[in-house]
C-alpha cells in the first residue's frame, strides 16, 4: 500500500493556559515525557504502582502476562469489585457526603445522590436482582434512559459479579433480540419509558417485542420513570423501584478476579453481525481510573459532565467507572441537547456550575449551526476544561469550541480511543501539552502507538498510514464474546499478530503529534493519490458557508475515483451551482486541485449513526446513483438518507 497523502495544514498551537497549569496535576511536558517513557520501558512497575492506588480485596501477584498473545492478562491473582472501587472506598472518607451523581431529567427534574446514597441504592438494586436469582457470571441486558438507575444498574450487576450488556436506548427490538441472544442474557433491566424531546420513548414496549419468543430471559426489571401504561407479565416482570424499597441497603461485593468479565458492549462495525466487545475488571478499572484522573485533571470540587449516553463506551468509562473511581461529581442529563431549546446544554452548565465538559464533534457542529447566541446567553465562567471524542474534530469546530464555548480560557482535550481500547489512548494532558486544532496530540501512559505502512514499518513525519498499538495496555479488550477467532482476525491479523490495528489512518507530525485521518475504509483514490476523506471534509467545513460535510469516492472512468461531497450549508447560504463552484475553488486553494470535489450534493442533514458518526458507506451508494441495499438499522434517522437518494434520481 502506498501511504495516505496528508494534505491538511494546520499551524496553530496553544500552550496550556498559565492559570490552568498552576493547579494541574501534571504541568510540564518533561514530566509527561518521563512518565510516558517509564510506562513504556518499565510497564510492570508503572502499572503496578497505579493499580495499587485502587482498593483490592486481595492483592495481585503479577502485573502483565502476555504469554497467550493476543489475549493479555493483567493483575493476575488480584481480586476486586468494580462497584466497591467506585463507591465503597469513598465511604470512609470525606467523599461520603459528596455528590456522586447529579441528575437532571429532560422535563427539568433534578435529583442528586451522594456517594453514601448511591452506595445504598446500588446495594438495594443488587439485592433486588439477587432475590430473583441474578448471580455471578450471569449476563444481564440493560436497556434504559439516561437516569441515575442506569448507572446504578451497571454497578449493581458489577457488585454481584454479573456481566452487564448495555444496549443503547435508541436501538430497535431486533437489535435487542440479537444482543440478548448472542450474550445469552437471562435478565433485562429496563424502564417504562424515558423523556426525549418532550415525548415518552416507550422502552418497555420495545423490550416486550424483542423478547417475544425468547425464553432464556427469566426476569425483566422495570424502573418506572414516565408512568406510561405498559403491558405486564406477572411471572416475568418486576417493578424494580418497589423491589428496591423493600430491600436491604447493604450487600457485600463479590470478590472478582482481575480477569473476570465486567461487561460486554456491542459495536456494530461497518459490516457483519455486532461484536460483543469483552472487557474485564482489573485492567479496565485501572485504565479508566488513570485516564480520568489525568486527562480531565479532576479536582475535588470539579463538577464533571460527560454528555455521552451510557449506552456507549464513553458513558461506561467516563460517566460511570473512571470518574466514580476518582470520587468525582458527575452530571447526568436525560434528554436531547435542543429540548426544549437549543441552549439546553449551556443552561445546564450555568445551573450546575459545570467545570469539565466532555462531548462529541457532532454535538459541537450542531451548536455551531444553531447559533452562538444560544451558547453565549448562559454563564460559562465555571468551565475550566473542554473535551471531545468520537470522530476527528475539524479545526473550525475546534476553534469555535475554544473561542465561543470556552471563551478562549479552557484547554481542549481531543481524545482518541475506541470501544475496544476501553480507555483514552491518544490525548493531550491539559496542563502539560500544547494543543493543535484537529490533533489528538500525544499517546497516554502505557500506549505505544505508531503510524506504520502495510508491512508494519514505522513511517516518517507527516506520512499518512495505519495507526496501530505495539504493546498491550490494561484496559484493552480481551476478546469478542463467543468468538475468539474473530478477535484475532479483526484486530491482530493485519500485521501477522504483532500489532493491534482497529482500522484508523493517521499521521504524526514533526513534533510527534498524532492527526487521526478517519477510518482507512473511507480513504479514496484519485488518480493514484490516496486521500483521507476527513481532510477534504475539514477543508470544506473551513468555508464559513459550510457547517458539516461528508466526502466519499464515486467511481470515475478517468480518475478511478472522483471526490463526491455532501454538504450542509450554514443558515443564510444559498445552495446552488454558484456556491458549489465557490466551494470547489475553496478546496483547491486549501489543499490542492486534486481534492476538488467533482460532485457537490447539498443536504439539510447527513445520515448518521445513533452515536453521531456520519455513515459514509451509505453515501457511497447515493454518490454512485445506486439504490442503498445495505444494512441501515444503525441509522439515527432513515428519512435523511431517503431524501438524499430521491434527489439523486
Asked whether position 450 contacts ligand WT7 by CB under 6 A, the answer is no
Closest distance to ligand WT7 from the beta carbon of 423 (Å): 9
Closest distance to ligand WT7 from the beta carbon of 108 (Å): 28
Task: Measure the CA–CA gap between 571 and 370, rounded to whole angstroms.
Answer: 9
Angle subtended at Cα 637 by Cα 634 and Cα 642, rounded to the nearest 5 degrees: 105
Asked whether position 418 contacts ligand WT7 by CB under 6 A, the answer is yes
Q: H helices then E strands: how many in the chain?
A: 21, 30
Task: Measure the CA–CA gap between 633 and 610, rounded to whole angstroms.
Answer: 10
Q: Are 389 and 415 in contact (CB under 8 A)?
A: yes
Size of the site for ligand WT7 (CB under 6 A): 21
Closest distance to ligand WT7 from the beta carbon of 70 (Å): 18
219 vs 475, which CB is nearer to ligand WT7? 475
Which of 263, 321, 416, 487 is in the footprint of ligand WT7 by CB under 6 A?
A: 416
Closest distance to ligand WT7 from the beta carbon of 517 (Å): 8
Q: Are 443 and 36 in contact (CB under 8 A)?
A: yes
Stretch that binds ligand WT7, among 68-76, 345-353, 500-508, 538-546 (CB under 6 A): 500-508
Angstrom distances, CA of residue 423 to CA of 258, 287, 481, 561, 649: 17, 6, 19, 36, 44
Question: Among residue numbers 506 through 525, which ones bind ligand WT7 (CB under 6 A)?
Answer: 516, 519
**Phi-psi region for residue 473, left (φ > 0), alpha (ψ -120 to 50) or beta?**
beta
Total count of residues recorded for the chain: 649
Closest distance to ligand WT7 from the beta carbon of 44 (Å): 27
Which of 417, 513, 566, 579 is in the footprint of ligand WT7 by CB under 6 A?
A: 417
Task: Measure the CA–CA gap between 486 and 66, rounded to whole angstroms.
Answer: 19
Closest distance to ligand WT7 from the beta carbon of 527 (Å): 26
190 vs 419, which CB is nearer to ligand WT7? 419
What residue is closest to ligand WT7 based on CB?
Answer: 419
Asked whether position 500 contacts ligand WT7 by CB under 6 A, the answer is no
Asked whether position 390 contacts ligand WT7 by CB under 6 A, the answer is yes
467's grid cell: 495507526
Task: Measure the CA–CA gap between 127 and 123, rounded to whole angstroms.
Answer: 6
Angstrom distances, CA of residue 505 to CA of 425, 516, 517, 522, 633: 15, 6, 5, 9, 26
Gyration radius (Cα) of the chain, Å: 24
- Strands (E) located in 91-134: 99-104, 110-114
64 vs 516, which CB is nearer to ligand WT7? 516
Which of 414, 522, 537, 590 is in the footprint of ligand WT7 by CB under 6 A?
A: 414
Asked whether position 138 contacts ligand WT7 by CB under 6 A, the answer is no
| Interstrand relation of 64-65 and 219-223 (parallel, antiparallel or unpaired) | unpaired
Angle, helix 282-295 to helix 43-51, in steps of 10 degrees: 90
Does an H or E element contain 350, and which?
Answer: helix 344-352
Residue with cell 484493552: 476
176 vs 440, which CB is nearer to ligand WT7? 440
Stretch that binds ligand WT7, among 34-42, 348-356, 498-506, 638-646 (CB under 6 A): 498-506
Task: Tell me the DSSP string of 568-588.
Answer: EEPTT---SHHHHHHHHHHHH
304's grid cell: 464533571
Closest distance to ligand WT7 from the beta carbon of 270 (Å): 11
- What residues pair up with 465 in beta bridges, in sequence order? 506
| Interstrand relation of 187-191 and 139-143 (parallel, antiparallel or unpaired) | parallel
Closest distance to ligand WT7 from the beta carbon of 223 (Å): 26
288 vs 542, which CB is nearer to ligand WT7? 288
Asked whether position 440 contacts ligand WT7 by CB under 6 A, the answer is yes
Which of 391, 537, 548, 621 is in the footprint of ligand WT7 by CB under 6 A?
A: 391
121 vs 504, which CB is nearer to ligand WT7? 504
Q: Are 184 and 215 in contact (CB under 8 A)?
A: no
- The pattern of x and - marking residues 264 through 293 that bind ligand WT7 according to CB under 6 A reads ---x--------------------------
312 vs 444, which CB is nearer to ligand WT7? 312
Task: Measure the CA–CA gap between 73 and 52, rounded to whole angstroms.
Answer: 17
Residue 70, preceding peptide bond in cis (omega within 30° of 0): yes
Distance of CA 444 to the CA centre of its chain: 17
Stretch that binds ligand WT7, among 408-416, 446-454, 486-494, 545-553 (CB under 6 A): 408-416
Q: What are phi and psi of 530, to 5 degrees?
A: -90, 115
Closest distance to ligand WT7 from the beta carbon of 351 (Å): 27
Give the SS3 label for residue 3: coil
Which of 190, 226, 419, 532 is in the footprint of ligand WT7 by CB under 6 A?
A: 419
88 vs 297, which CB is nearer to ligand WT7? 297
Which strands, in side-by-side order, build the sheet including 385-388? 110-114, 99-104, 329-333, 303-306, 356-359, 385-388, 412-414
Question: Among residue numbers 311 through 340, which ones bind ligand WT7 (CB under 6 A)?
Answer: 312-314
Asked whether position 563 contacts ligand WT7 by CB under 6 A, the answer is no
Question: Among residue numbers 453 through 472, which ones bind ligand WT7 (CB under 6 A)?
Answer: none
Which of 383, 389, 466, 567 is in the footprint of ligand WT7 by CB under 6 A?
A: 389
352 vs 620, which CB is nearer to ligand WT7? 620
- The pattern of x and - marking residues 574 through 613 that bind ligand WT7 according to CB under 6 A reads -------------------------------------x--
354 vs 469, which CB is nearer to ligand WT7? 469
Stretch that binds ligand WT7, among 173-181, 182-190, 414-422, 454-462 (CB under 6 A): 414-422
Which residues make up the interface to ligand WT7 (CB under 6 A)? 267, 312-314, 389-392, 414-419, 440, 502-504, 516, 519, 611
Amino acid at each position: 500500500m502506498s501511504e495516505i497523502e496528508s494534505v491538511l495544514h494546520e499551524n496553530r498551537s496553544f500552550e496550556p493556559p498559565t492559570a490552568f497549569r498552576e493547579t494541574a496535576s501534571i504541568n510540564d511536558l518533561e514530566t509527561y515525557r518521563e512518565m510516558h517513557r517509564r510506562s513504556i520501558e518499565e510497564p510492570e512497575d508503572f502499572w503496578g504502582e497505579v493499580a495499587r492506588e485502587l482498593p483490592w480485596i486481595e492483592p495481585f501477584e503479577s502485573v502483565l502476562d502476555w504469554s497467550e498473545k493476543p489475549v493479555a492478562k493483567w493483575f493476575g491473582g488480584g481480586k476486586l469489585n468494580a462497584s466497591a472501587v467506585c463507591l465503597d472506598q469513598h465511604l470512609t472518607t470525606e467523599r461520603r457526603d459528596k455528590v456522586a451523581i447529579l441528575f437532571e431529567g429532560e422535563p427539568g427534574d433534578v435529583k442528586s445522590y451522594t456517594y453514601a446514597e448511591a452506595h445504598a441504592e446500588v446495594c438495594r438494586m443488587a439485592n433486588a436482582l439477587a432475590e430473583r436469582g441474578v448471580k455471578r457470571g450471569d449476563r444481564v441486558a440493560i436497556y434504559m434512559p439516561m437516569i441515575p438507575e442506569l448507572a446504578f444498574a451497571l454497578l449493581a450487576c458489577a457488585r454481584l459479579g454479573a456481566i452487564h450488556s448495555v444496549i443503547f436506548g435508541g436501538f430497535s427490538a431486533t437489535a435487542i433480540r440479537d444482543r440478548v441472544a448472542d450474550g445469552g442474557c437471562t435478565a433485562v433491566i429496563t424502564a417504562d419509558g424515558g423523556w426525549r424531546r418532550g415525548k415518552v420513548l416507550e422502552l418497555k414496549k420495545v423490550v416486550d417485542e424483542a423478547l417475544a419468543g425468547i425464553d432464556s430471559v427469566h426476569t425483566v426489571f422495570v424502573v418506572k420513570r414516565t408512568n406510561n401504561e405498559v403491558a405486564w407479565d406477572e411471572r416475568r416482570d418486576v417493578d424494580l423501584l418497589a423491589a428496591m424499597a423493600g430491600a436491604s441497603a447493604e450487600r457485600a461485593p463479590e470478590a472478582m478476579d482481575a480477569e473476570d468479565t465486567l461487561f460486554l458492549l456491542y459495536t456494530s462495525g461497518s459490516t457483519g453481525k455486532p461484536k460483543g466487545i469483552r472487557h474485564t475488571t482489573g485492567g479496565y478499572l485501572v485504565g479508566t481510573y488513570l485516564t480520568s484522573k489525568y486527562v480531565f485533571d479532576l479536582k475535588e470540587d470539579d463538577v464533571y459532565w460527560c454528555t455521552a449516553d451510557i449506552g456507549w463506551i464513553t458513558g461506561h468509562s467516563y460517566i460511570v467507572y473512571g470518574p466514580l473511581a476518582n470520587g468525582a461529581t458527575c452530571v447526568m442529563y436525560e434528554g436531547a441537547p435542543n429540548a426544549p431549546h437549543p441552549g439546553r446544554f449551556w443552561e445546564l452548565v450555568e445551573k450546575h456550575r459545570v467545570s469539565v465538559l466532555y462531548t462529541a464533534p457532532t454535538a459541537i457542529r450542531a451548536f455551531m449551526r444553531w447559533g452562538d447566541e444560544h451558547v453565549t446567553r448562559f454563564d460559562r465562567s465555571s468551565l475550566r476544561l473542554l473535551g471531545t471524542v468520537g470522530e476527528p474534530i475539524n479545526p473550525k469546530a475546534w476553534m469555535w469550541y475554544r473561542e465561543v464555548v470556552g471563551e478562549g480560557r479552557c484547554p481542549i482535550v481531543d481524545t482518541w480511543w475506541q470501544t475496544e481500547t476501553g480507555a483514552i489512548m491518544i490525548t493531550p494532558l491539559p496542563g502539560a501539552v500544547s494543543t493543535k486544532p484537529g490533533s489528538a496530540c500525544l499517546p497516554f501512559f502505557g500506549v505505544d502507538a505508531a503510524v506504520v505502512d502495510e508491512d508494519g514499518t514505522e513511517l516518517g513525519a507527516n506520512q499518512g498510514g495505519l495507526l496501530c498499538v505495539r504493546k498491550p495496555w490494561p484496559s484493552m479488550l480481551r476478546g469478542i464474546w463467543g468468538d475468539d477467532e474473530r478477535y484475532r482476525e479483526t484486530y491482530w491479523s493485519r500485521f501477522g499478530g504483532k500489532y493491534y490495528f482497529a482500522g484508523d489512518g493517521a499521521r504524526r507530525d514533526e513534533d510527534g503529534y498524532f492527526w487521526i485521518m478517519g477510518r482507512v475504509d473511507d480513504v479514496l483514490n484519485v488518480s493514484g493519490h490516496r486521500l483521507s476523506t476527513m481532510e477534504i471534509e475539514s477543508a470544506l467545513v473551513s468555508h464559513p458557508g459550510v457547517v458539516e460535510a461528508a466526502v466519499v469516492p464515486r467511481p470515475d472512468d478517468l480518475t478511478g475515483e472522483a471526490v463526491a461531497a455532501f454538504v450542509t450549508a450554514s443558515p443564510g447560504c444559498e445552495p446552488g451551482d454558484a456556491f458549489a463552484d465557490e466551494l470547489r475553488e475553496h478546496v483547491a486553494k486549501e489543499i490542492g486541485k486534486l481534492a476538488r470535489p467533482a460532485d457537490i450534493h447539498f443536504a439539510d442533514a447527513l445520515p448518521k449513526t445513533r452515536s453521531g458518526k456520519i455513515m459514509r458507506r451509505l453515501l457511497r451508494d447515493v454518490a454512485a446513483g445506486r439504490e442503498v441495499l445495505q444494512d441501515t438499522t444503525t441509522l439515527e434517522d432513515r428519512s435523511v438518507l431517503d431524501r438524499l437518494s430521491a434527489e439523486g434520481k
